[in-house]
A and B are shown apart, each in its own frame.
Chain A
Amino acid sequence: MRRREQFMWISAMVLCLAPFAFFAGLGMRGLYRSFATERLDTGAGDGLTRLASANPRVPDTDTRPQFLYMDVLNKLKLWSVEGVPNDTRLAHGSVEAMLNSLDDPNTRLVSPTEAKALRDATLGQFHGLGAVLTIQRYNERAVAETAKANLPGVLGTKPKPENPGIKTVTVVSVLPGSPAETAGLQAGDRITEIDGHWVAPTHVSYRILTQIIDPAGIQDGRPRSPEELPEQPITPDPDREKFRKEQEEVSKRWQTATDLSTALTDLNGGMQGEHEITFQRGVPAKTQKVKVTFGVTRPELVSSRKINETTGYLRVLLFNPETVKQAGEALGKLQADGAKSLVVDLRGNPGGSMDAARQFAGLLIGNGKFMVVKERDAARALTERVVTAQGPAKFKPATLSVLVDRGTAGSAELVAAALRDNLGTPLVGGSTFGDGTEQELAILQDGSGISITRARTLTAKRLDFDGKGLRVDVPATGDPVEDAVKALAAPAPAAPASAVKGARNSGA
């Protein structure tokens, strides 16, 4: 049916003992035989019959997937001549494959180093690059279309399923005083190479490499007999040569590539010293290279001051129980110092603890609506839940504004949206990052972690900002803090019409 040349590459791998040889082999493994006989009795081991028949009969044994997995694992360990890697590596291999088969780039296996870095990050200590990173599917065309639609600062429309885009390490927020800031990295930058090694959008296995390194050449199969030659004799043409050169370059790129998981590990404390980072920025993408000296960053997470007689300024860089406590104290102090108005600065805040964010919002909006969570119930049906902020309110400013930028992500976006939805507070600065998903990280006993996207978060007014970001009411024109002071507005319960306005303003 098919020409041999076509499937040669796959079938070249197959030199197998026939099933009868396999069962004959059992004779020499006396102790194994009892196991095999038992399997024969259950009707599972009649490989000979089943192999010979074109339609395998309906299995009558336990074919639950869990048993299938155990079966293969046992067979591999018992029979493999090459030696089997340790259990942790086998487990990682399985988990990585399972999670990568889903459409969600942030449902993935997290290395022990990265898991520790994420844990430390939630406490305000950042390893390596000193930036919060995520994996996004990047689709140049979608981004270009968004840019054409003139939506300032918006990262891109959600990639369409038929063109899901390439998984890319993306900078969410750059922490003040970090190596990333020194090197000039910005939120939204896409890291494509580390020390010249391309960050491949997948795990590169030896299997893939052997196939890439040795693409089938012309000597596949016998030279064709004249009757097999095409009617028109083929002449060597430049297109063919060009194609081959391209293939060679692609294969070289793959051979020296690193993968997403390794890259995130390297950037999160896995690498020390000075390294070269290649990143892309903007539309159309402009590629740049910078040298970065990795180290540990401990930024000031909460800071406050008086801007003028009656206006206080509060910056929160991360939400966790400690920063919310500090923020509460800072608000009390500002109030005692006579501040009537408040600028809340959430620029570069990558989010953090959801509970802490709820508490922080509660300091200003009491028990107002905080967000809408979409998650799965026991029957895997998508359900919605309204989450309120955690009051009571501690500070009721006469006027309020919120500063955001592209580094404002996750729960920080929800806080900003909650202030706008509850108090009509204007958002000032630039469009936010657009992370409307919640990840859960389950740490395994070897220190690695399983990151699962467990919920989608919408603003209190049910706006889905994931992949789009929140559009600001007042784009920054000069000094952002001054703009925020100018934009200060009296809190007002959101008018019914503003729901529509909110939606339009969001850049959706």
Chain B
Amino acid sequence: MTESDLSRPAPAATAYQDRPQPANLADILERVLDKGIIIAGDIRVNLLDIELLTVKIRLLVVSVDKAEEMGIDWWRHDPMLTVKERGLAEENQELRDRLEELESAQGSGSGKGSRQGTRQGSRGG
């Protein structure tokens, strides 16, 4: 058996990490779904569907907000992906509660605030 030099020496603890096993799912998905050569297979009547699904994933990888705008929210049913979201919602609610508390504490405060004249865009002729 010849040992090829393909196995690189184990890296010392440096800034980079040798490819972890298993690799980050986001890294893999952005590569296998969005990169690589495209060769039309025989299973292609549903290519449109596959593209659609791919777009969903791509949106997930790119921006959840954007996907939500488009009404794509299938990952919500996936517990794996919704853990952190709950944290955000909680923080949001907490902030709202605090704000309400604050507002009621102030009673009927005067509507001060930095009101700045809004600059109207002047239309050039």
**A and B assemble together:** no
